[in-house]
Chain A
Amino acid sequence: DTGVSQDPRHKITKRGQNVTFRCDPISEHNRLYWYRQTLGQGPEFLTYFQNEAQLEKSRLLSDRFSAERPKGSFSTLEIQRTEQGDSAMYLCASSSARNQPQHFGDGTRLSIL
């Protein structure tokens, strides 16, 4: 069990650019979640996958955000045409079942210049 890994750890980009983050969950976990966390706040749910199916998507998620989990293993989160307000820590978590606790990665910190 190597835990949830996220790549990159930090991303600095100019406003208007596209960015893509990757999350590798714990191998036997079929549930994968993406969150956004800003300074002084708790994680805010973005989207949820069960295997390769995206089953939940927050209404807060604009159409500039898209997530995939093509083979039910790793997942990617893409943000198109980044804006200043996208600056945040993006957290990925996985779990083995509905009522089981989530295991979090270290996050990807996004800074928009």
Chain B
Amino acid sequence: AQTVTQSQPEMSVQEAETVTLSCTYDTSESDYYLFWYKQPPSRQMILVIRQEAYKQQNATENRFSVNFQKAAKSFSLKISDSQLGDAAMYFCAQYTGNQFYFGTGTSLTVIP
């Protein structure tokens, strides 16, 4: 079975500081993809960053980067220079087969 675990229900960060959100996953598949999605309050889910499992290089997207540790099945998200607009629920997701599997989310608060 595929599982995605986010062990931090809530996190907070000072504006302009850096925060790292944790995610671990479990799969026996060799072909999969990993994503981080952001869901602001009462708004739709939007993609933050994606990582192909076959790529060793960590994905980056402006202030967002991942630390992909394939052997450890870890996929953490680092947000640099945090902004007030980064406050949201963050979901880690794994795509295997034809299904996405989501974690339970981490609620990020940005303190001005």
Q: Are A102 and B98 in contact (CB under 8 A)?
A: no
Q: Are B105 and A41 in contact (CB under 8 A)?
A: yes
Q: Are A99 and B95 in contact (CB under 8 A)?
A: yes
Q: Is the interface of B mostly helix, strand, loop or mixed?
A: strand
Q: Are A40 and B104 in contact (CB under 8 A)?
A: yes
One of A44, A45, A50, A104 near B45 (C-beta < 8 A): A104
Our count of residue pairs bridging A and B at CB distance below 8 angstroms stands at 48
- Give the distance in Å from the alpha carbon of A3 to the alpha carbon of B52 in the complex: 24
Q: Are A104 and B46 in contact (CB under 8 A)?
A: yes
B99 contacts the other chain (CB 8 A):
yes
Q: Are B98 and A56 in contact (CB under 8 A)?
A: yes
A71 contacts the other chain (CB 8 A):
no
Q: Are A104 and B44 in contact (CB under 8 A)?
A: yes
CB neighbours (8 Å) of A45 from chain B are: 99-101
Closest CB of chain A to B102's CB: distance in Å? 3
Q: Are A48 and B103 in contact (CB under 8 A)?
A: no
A107 contacts the other chain (CB 8 A):
yes
A21 contacts the other chain (CB 8 A):
no
Contacts from A to B (Cβ < 8 Å) = 33, 35, 40-45, 48, 50, 55-56, 91, 93, 98-99, 101-107
Contacts from B to A (Cβ < 8 Å) = 4, 33, 35, 37, 43-47, 50, 52, 91, 93, 95, 97-105
